[in-house]
A and B are shown apart, each in its own frame.
Chain A
Amino acid sequence: MAVFPQLRRQRSKREEPIGEIPGGQRHRAILLMPGMIWLVIFSILPLALVVVYSFASRGTYGGIEFKWTLENYARLADRLYLAILWRSFLFAFATTVLCLVLGYPMAYAIASSPEPRKNRLLLLIVVPFWTNFLIRTYAWIIILRGQGLINGLLMHLGLISEPLRMLYTPGAVLLGFVYNWLPFMILPLYASLEKIDRSYIEAAMDLGAQGRYVLTKVILPLSLPGIAAGCVLVFIPALAMFAIPDLLGGARTMLVGNLIKNQFLSARNWPFGSAASVFLIVAMLLALFIYRHVLQRAQGHG
């Protein structure tokens, strides 16, 4: 399954494919071999193990007993875990929506900037990646904590008398999520907005359309592939993230990512952790399926 067919299409439009490989089918197999071996050993095999474990039982001392059961999946339907799954979905969904709302105007502004400034702005979007993700998240602790930057400033200005509680709240987790994934929304949005031929906008204006109508009837629909790609790139990792809730959320904002991590590391219940993982993978595949559907409709195959 081509996960990002629009990236593939873009590339093949700009440059011709290198063409038939000399030696044909056999040479292609040789070229594919190293990558395939890598994928099988380090991706497919562990994944298969996770699926197998999800049907096994937990041994007395945290080991795995190969007594097949559906118990692990049934346990996910427990109210406690359903609440965690639901909360994870809400966080991922809210993150996606916030990233889209914040990212779309930014991507549009960048895409419509003149050439040298466009590249500078894109660079600014990418700059945070130069610092490790954990360090950036720790930085938020310093900004948000009781004696942190924000509280310090507000108290200094006399606007508040005692520190606001910001760290270790769901809000802090959402902030961390949006901060972390905003670039992943902006970049695909930018790519698809930048590709929109100016003549479509001119044609709409020529037919009598003003700003808002041009945006809703022409620019938005034409950037739908970018919106879908950005949403997938944000939603899927946000669904599985555990480090940000660990660092910024405290104990009360447990998400499915934390649940899985805890099952594997602290509770040493690998089968249940595996079942939760498989559930998550299915949810992600569903998201990708919806994405493909949106994309195909946007490309007029519908």
Chain B
Amino acid sequence: MVKLESVSKMFGDFLAVDNLSMDVAEGEFLTLLGPSGCGKTTTLRLIAGFEQPTSGNVYIGNKMVNDVPPYRRDVNTVFQNYALFPHLTVYENIAFGLRLRRLDPSTIDERVRWALKLVKLDNLGERKPRQLSGGQQQRVALARALVCHPKVLLLDEPLGALDLKMRKAMQIELKSLQRRLGVTFIYVTHDQEEALAMSDRIAVMNAGIVHQLDTAAAIYEYPKTRFVADFIGEANLLQARVSEITADTVWAEVNGHRLPCARREGLRPDQAIWIMVRPENIRVLPVSSQEAPAPSEKTAVVKGVLREVVYLGATLKAITDINPGLTITAARLSSSSVVSIPTDSEVQLHWPSSAGHILTE
């Protein structure tokens, strides 16, 4: 439905989007995720037509649209600050795009009422935007864009200004709305949780480059780069070196510790790598525990000193110092036995070797 082909965008000397290519399928919910300044909003504006690519091509529905102005593109945008016209009522804001299409008044009325119902604001048509709460304004912006029946809806951090509770509720609502209407959504956010909760696929961006474009689960479990591993969720990233490759395990050496990792193609001995282990895959046991498995091809084990246990409600975080100069964080349920281990005592950490994910870049 939307295709970017080696698109780059320069602002003066600044390369905002760097040779970006992606394909968004019809009816897909795709999220551009990244820190501020990563080029995600610029990418969205290139699709909306507010910016022209310095090089490369933008396609919407198989048509090249590089030179098509925003008012002729079959996309609509929900702006970050909503950009509701302050001098018009909610009803007139939503009708704005329809009046331009020269539809007859009864059709316009019908469609505006449909849109108001869609976002559950049936009774607020006569209000001015300033008389609405942030959440209501957000819904009006959504209705104003959807009432035009765009092929693609572009959303630029639409929930950024809402409080946490409202944001969570809107995430679920947006997702179900998208599924019901079957409209392609391209959604920009810097909030990884939001991206994970809603998206069919996520494009993780940094410095104008897409680091990885994949499903939420794939991005979380098999990040391609250190940036992705670090940006999505929490990760222990250990600088390492390939020491031995066997039939189904890669042995890596981390500051003198030998750790088994999940097998991966294309590695050679002595190559510099990073190992990523998600905190929730790591178990913490007292050093004397009988439960502890022996180190093997299947299990990585390291000893260390428990430095701190941080209580986070449902979970807790156990921070362990490993000699020399390594810190590994484990996340366990608050009900786990970690609470009974005194801090500054010796512990052993272990995780299945399949949880050790190797990164090369």
Report A's interface with B, CB cutoff 8 A.
197, 199-200, 202-210, 213, 217-218, 221-222, 224, 298, 300
User: 9 tightest CB-CB pairs across the interface, nearest first?
Assistant: A207-B97, A203-B83, A199-B83, A300-B128, A208-B100, A221-B87, A205-B70, A206-B77, A208-B71
Closest A residue to B77 by beta carbon equals: A206
Known: A203-B85, A300-B86, A300-B128. A208 touches B148 (CB 8 A): yes
List residues 254-300 of chain B with CB under 8 A from any CB of chain A.
none
Q: With both chains docked as a complex, state the minimum distance between the C-beta of B29 and any C-beta of chain A, in angstroms.
A: 20
Indicate which residue in B50, B76, B128 contacts A207 across the interface (CB closer than 8 Å). B76
Using a Cβ–Cβ cut-off of 8 Å, how many residues does chain B contribute to the interface with A? 28
Q: A205 to B131, alpha carbons, bound, how many Å?
A: 25
Residues of B contacting A217 in the complex (Cβ-Cβ under 8 angstroms): 96
Indicate which residue in B71, B86, B128, B148 contacts A222 across the interface (CB closer than 8 Å). B86
Q: With both chains docked as a complex, state the minimum distance between the C-beta of A240 and any C-beta of chain B, in angstroms.
A: 33
Residues of B contacting A213 in the complex (Cβ-Cβ under 8 angstroms): 100
Closest A residue to B45 by beta carbon equals: A202
- Is there contact, CB below 8 Å, between B96 and A204? yes
- Is there contact, CB below 8 Å, between B83 and A200? yes
Q: A206 to B71, alpha carbons, bound, how many Å?
A: 5
- Is there contact, CB below 8 Å, between B71 and A200? no
Residues of B contacting A204 in the complex (Cβ-Cβ under 8 angstroms): 85, 96
- Is there contact, CB below 8 Å, between B96 and A207? yes
Closest B residue to A210 by beta carbon equals: B71
Residues of A contacting B96 in the complex (Cβ-Cβ under 8 angstroms): 204, 207, 209, 217
Q: With both chains docked as a complex, state the minimum distance between the C-beta of B64 and any C-beta of chain A, in angstroms.
A: 20
Residues of B contacting A210 in the complex (Cβ-Cβ under 8 angstroms): 69, 71
Closest A residue to B127 by beta carbon equals: A300
Residues of B contacting A209 in the complex (Cβ-Cβ under 8 angstroms): 71, 96, 100
- Is there contact, CB below 8 Å, between A207 and B83? no
Q: List 23 A–B pairs whose Cβ atoms lie within 8 Å, in order of A's numbering.
A: A199-B79, A199-B81, A202-B77, A202-B79, A202-B83, A203-B77, A203-B79, A204-B85, A205-B50, A206-B70, A206-B145, A207-B100, A207-B144, A208-B71, A208-B72, A208-B101, A209-B96, A209-B100, A222-B85, A298-B87, A300-B129, A300-B130, A300-B131
Asked whether B65 is an interface residue with its Cβ less than 8 Å from the other chain, the reply is no
Q: With both chains docked as a complex, state the minimum distance between the C-beta of A202 and any C-beta of chain B, in angstroms.
A: 6
Q: A10 to B206, alpha carbons, bound, how many Å?
A: 37
Asked whether B322 is an interface residue with its Cβ less than 8 Å from the other chain, the reply is no
Q: A202 to B49, alpha carbons, bound, how many Å?
A: 10
- Is there contact, CB below 8 Å, between A206 and B76? yes
Q: With both chains docked as a complex, state the minimum distance between the C-beta of A297 and any C-beta of chain B, in angstroms.
A: 9
Residues of A contacting B83 in the complex (Cβ-Cβ under 8 angstroms): 197, 199-200, 202-203
Q: Choose among A203, A209, A224 the residue with the greatest number of B CB atoms under 10 Å from its CB.
A: A203
Residues of A contacting B128 in the complex (Cβ-Cβ under 8 angstroms): 300
- Is there contact, CB below 8 Å, between B48 and A218? no
Q: With both chains docked as a complex, state the minimum distance between the C-beta of B231 and any C-beta of chain A, in angstroms.
A: 27
Q: With both chains docked as a complex, state the minimum distance between the C-beta of B259 and any C-beta of chain A, in angstroms.
A: 51
Q: With both chains docked as a complex, state the minimum distance between the C-beta of A298 and any C-beta of chain B, in angstroms.
A: 7
Closest A residue to B89 by beta carbon equals: A300
Known: A213-B100, A300-B130. A205 touches B69 (CB 8 A): yes
Q: A206 to B141, alpha carbons, bound, how many Å?
A: 12
Closest A residue to B76 by beta carbon equals: A206
Indicate which residue in A199, A202, A222 contacts B70 across the interface (CB closer than 8 Å). A202
Residues of A contacting B71 in the complex (Cβ-Cβ under 8 angstroms): 205-210
**Interface 0/1 of B200-237, CB less than 8 Å to A:** 00000000000000000000000000000000000000
- Is there contact, CB below 8 Å, between B81 and A197? yes
Q: A298 to B86, alpha carbons, bound, how many Å?
A: 9
- Is there contact, CB below 8 Å, between B85 and A200? yes
Q: A218 to B96, alpha carbons, bound, how many Å?
A: 10
Q: A298 to B101, alpha carbons, bound, how many Å?
A: 26
Q: A37 to B131, alpha carbons, bound, how many Å?
A: 41
Q: With both chains docked as a complex, state the minimum distance between the C-beta of B103 and any C-beta of chain A, in angstroms.
A: 12
Residues of B contacting A205 in the complex (Cβ-Cβ under 8 angstroms): 50, 69-71
